[in-house]
Amino acid sequence: MRSLIVATACCLGWCLGWCFVGASLPGCGETDNRAPSLTITPSALTGPISEPTVFTAVLVNSSDPVTWTLTDGMAASGGRGALSGTTGLHVTYAPPLGTAMATLTATAGSLTATVQISSAPPTKTIPGLTAPVTVQYDAQDVPHIQCAQAVDCVAAQGYLQARDRLFPMDFLRHVARGKVAEMIGVAGMSQDLQFRTLFLTRDGKRIEDELIKGIDPVTKGLLNAFVIGVNAYLAELRTSHGALPGEYAQLPFPLTPADIADWTPQDTLALARLQQFQLSESLTAESANGTFAQTYGPGAPHEDLGKMNAWIRAASPTTERGHTLSATASQLAAIAPGNVRRRGGDLAPRLSGWRDALRATADTAAELHDRLRPADASVGSNNWVVAAAKSTAHVAMVANDPHLSLQYPPLFHLATMKSANAADHLDLTGGSFPGIPGALVGRGEHVGWGVTVVGYDVTDVYLEQFLPQASCPGGAAGPPCVLFKGAPVSTVPVPQTFLVRVAAGAAGLVNAGDPAVRAANPGLLAVPPFLLVVPHHGPVIQAPGADGKGVSFRWTGHEPNTRDLKAFYGLNTATDVNTAITALKDYATGAQNFVLADDQGHIAYDPHALVPLRPWAVKDSPLKPWFPLPGDGSAEWGPPGTNCAAPGGAPAACWIPDDQLPQGKDPAKGYFFTANADPLGVSDDNDPLPGASEPPYMSYDWDDSSGFRATRIEQMIEAAIRAHGSVSLADMEAIQADHVSRPGMAFDPIIAALPAGPPELATAKAILAQWKARGWDCPSAVVGTDPKGPAATDAAVLQSSAGCFLFHAFLRTLVSNVFTDDLKVAGQGINALAAVKALLFLLGLPDGAPGTSFCNDVDSKGVTVASKTCGAQVAAALVQAYGTIAAQLGTDPNKWIWGRVHTIQPVSLLQLVTVGYEPGPYARPGGAFTVDVGSPSLSSSGLAFGYNSGGNVRHISLMDPTSPKVRMQLPGPERDGPSASSGPDLLGQWVKNSYFDYAHSDQIKGVAVSIQTFKAP
């Protein structure tokens, strides 16, 4: 089906000049016998242009390459402008500052075509501006906004985000507010039901509606200005009847600008909460842990505490661990034993009554998780800061590369903003998610920062016992109730109306609850008339069955009195790390590791967030927060006697006090680093529950408890300091581009110790030994970025490529052979992080030790059908991986080119086939858990190792007070558009790990290529 769609798209593209006319293309018709010709589209302009514009060469019956030239026209006062390139069918003309005239010429062999261009600075209108706003564009098409007041800058940012990224803004606000069916029809209803449920407060309100009530005046003014800017663009689009971005072509119903509703403050707040949920929920992990415990936990039908020890682990799997707040570099430590004991042996029986409800919850949560954070892509962000005392440039430095799914256009939108009002302290350079004002990553006037996910445990899953309706306070006529602290407590029913699009235009929206509509549309999902909320926990995510067993969950994102936008604006305008830390005290949800550097040379680390205080979560407690908890009142948040379920928001006493959260400033070692790992080392003994005089429980496994990347970053910083006493910009860039495999290092002694076996085993071991000699590097070994391009010729590169290739094929095979059968009994799929941690733990145990039963083969009922040691599984997997590669690529390792199979291909947000919105694939270095993350799926089969997440920006700032330097990468264009006509090749630069100098503050004056102005109507 896909090939048919592509062929059809090519024929459509032919008509638009995307293909050579007359070329021999499947399904494109007969050969064109017209004489060769060349034209340019557009061939004539009706007036001056004011923004970068794409011109396309249309060739008829010619295959000559097209070249472009630009010459001055008459009376040019601002220069002639610039071209994005000089060859190819498409070129983007960027007008200069001021007015200009120029001639654009396309040449193909003896054919030429020209178009006359005139340009002038555009003026757009945004209601409510206090003064005109000037926007200058650099060569990357990044807008640099200069304004009189901060609100004016933010209004312009809203306009520009809507102009450049309307589709992701529009689509994701529908996701966050549970209204996707209003865009895509019936297919969106199940997702809408999920998000309507997830984002209800404890009193049944929409979280975005409650957040807007408590917003402070300054933040509200900025948010309203942003909204006005977005709607100014929407109004302009409707008036002009302009075309919508190409991504709208993916939708099953054609929409017009008139179908797109105005933006609201609640849209931004909902969008922010969606991103915070994506980065902080542990609903998926906890429900999966529950189903695993139902199978293998204490008292379970297949009780195997060794498997529990191996699969559900808090500790890092290696003996070398770096922690953010360690006073010195990483130290060697023993592998921690398991901590599951017979004590608390009621776990599985306690969960067993909820077997069906938990299994359904786990399946739904896993589906949702994969939609938000695709498999094997849930970890990977890095950041670090270096103090001036350890910096070669004698200024503090900050680096960040937050990893999320790679989309086209990219998830981040870049912009700078500078207010002429000194009191605003707004001089901002960075990037934000479209729909959210300010910058989430970047630097301000005096402070630069980076963010990664901490992985605090801020979610609990509760097993709710619903009572017979007659036992509820309202009787048969009242709402359902649950048993809580020995008494019935009524739930809160929340009526819902689901609108579904069944045709184009506003008239195409129908009410899914209308019987007549349902009769006319039999494909509509049966939706409940109301959702339920347990008032002391949160939304019911699995409705009770006949036995009254249901599931609810509590998440800090349900708190209505949080001020996350205020915190980010305070960070954006901070004057030093101290004021940044003060601002972050307002940051509550979606916990982030903030590393901070200021232009006075100081650095700090502050992962502030609301983290529940769980007094019952202490050493040897039978209640483990990483499993589903009883909803009977025995596992509540906050101190006894404190109402931590107040509808208006839990009081401060319900959260871990600020001074007990991880934090630090100006450490003696001169740097901080994070990579989603345990910042404190509280997991090293594999028991994160605190004993006496230990910090309160914060997390079971953080966000990447492997520690592979964290330790590698620390070691590279330490190596730079040992080599020349300081860390340079080049060192910062090298760390961000590092693709050495620490999992390869960890498995090396295990593989090296394997006894002799078949010849294939010896050959495979020799290949991996060569890889070790080359430092476990994972280069693509492709010249350029095309997976089909020529291979490298350097022997060391080829040896590294072969070793990396073989290792990943081996690791995938080993993971599958050891875990697939046991997990199938528990109704689960493979979790790559848990699998790698478990393997390294198991391989350190003697044969027959508890847990090594994982290495046996079992049938679908959990009965052992073949007893195997874990060492034998390693040897067999290595032989099997070698044989698979050799069968497909031959036995010459020099032809095992990693970049042919290890590729990245960004996709459009809906991940459907849209012409021009799936650039690539591109060959990439790296692999599982490398710093430059390129983690392929370990649950797949075969030799395809493509991956789908990466650094959504790569950012480095040198906080020089007189000559600031910002380096940036963005995996795609600033503006929405097909990849063939999207202007500067930022994605190509990102693939090659190539930075551009991101002009900060007044630096734009020397590099601007075009300008536009905004004013009030």
Contact 734, 777 (CB under 8 A): no
Radius of gyration of the chain from its Cα atoms, rounded to whole angstroms: 29
Taking only the tens place, the pLDDT of each residue in 738-765 is 999 999 999 999 999 999 999 999 999 9
Query: What does the alpha-carbon distance between residue 499 and residue 990 come to, in Å, rounded to a whole number?
Result: 40
Strand order from edge to edge, sheet including 1010-1015 = 123-125, 1010-1015, 133-137, 143-147, 413-419, 427-432, 441-443, 447-453, 592-598, 603-606, 664-665
Contact 288, 627 (CB under 8 A): no
Give the three-class secondary structure for 1003.
helix
Using alpha carbons, select from 93, 107, 108 the residue that is nearest to residue 53: 93
Question: Hunting for tokens 């090298």 — which residue is that?
Answer: 734
Confidence of residue 277 (pLDDT cuts 50, 70, 90): very high
DSSP state of 693: T
Query: What does the alpha-carbon distance between residue 522 and residue 236 come to, in Å, rounded to a whole number?
Result: 39
Average pLDDT for residues 631-656, to the nearest whole number?
96
Percent of the chain at pLDDT exceeding 70: 93
Is 11's pLDDT higher than 60?
Answer: no
Using alpha carbons, select from 368, 347, 204 the residue that is nearest to residue 274: 368
DSSP secondary structure letters along 475-521:
GGGS--EEEETTEEEE-EEEE---EEE-SSSGGGEEETT-HHHHHH-
Contact 267, 173 (CB under 8 A): yes
Average pLDDT for residues 400-404, to the nearest whole number?
94
Bridge pairing between strands 403-405 and 965-969: unpaired
- The separation between CA 826 and the C-alpha centre of its own chain, rounded to angstroms, equals 28
Comparing 164 with 44, the larger pLDDT belongs to 164
Question: Hunting for tokens 């970890």 — which residue is that?
Answer: 379
Q: What is the pLDDT of residue 84?
A: 82
Average pLDDT for residues 683-701, to the nearest whole number?
91
Is 910's pLDDT higher than 90?
Answer: no
The phi and psi torsions of 329 (rounded to 5 degrees) equal -65, 165
Taking only the tens place, the pLDDT of each residue in 58-98 is 999 999 999 999 987 543 344 678 888 899 998 888 888 77
Is 378's pLDDT higher than 70?
Answer: no
Q: pTM for the complete prediction?
A: 0.90
Using alpha carbons, select from 472, 475, 477 the residue that is nearest to residue 490: 472
Lowest model confidence (mean pLDDT) among 209-218, 296-305, 438-447? 296-305
Question: Hunting for tokens 């409800």 — which residue is that?
Answer: 357
Question: Could you tell me the two tokens for 994?
Answer: 């190539």
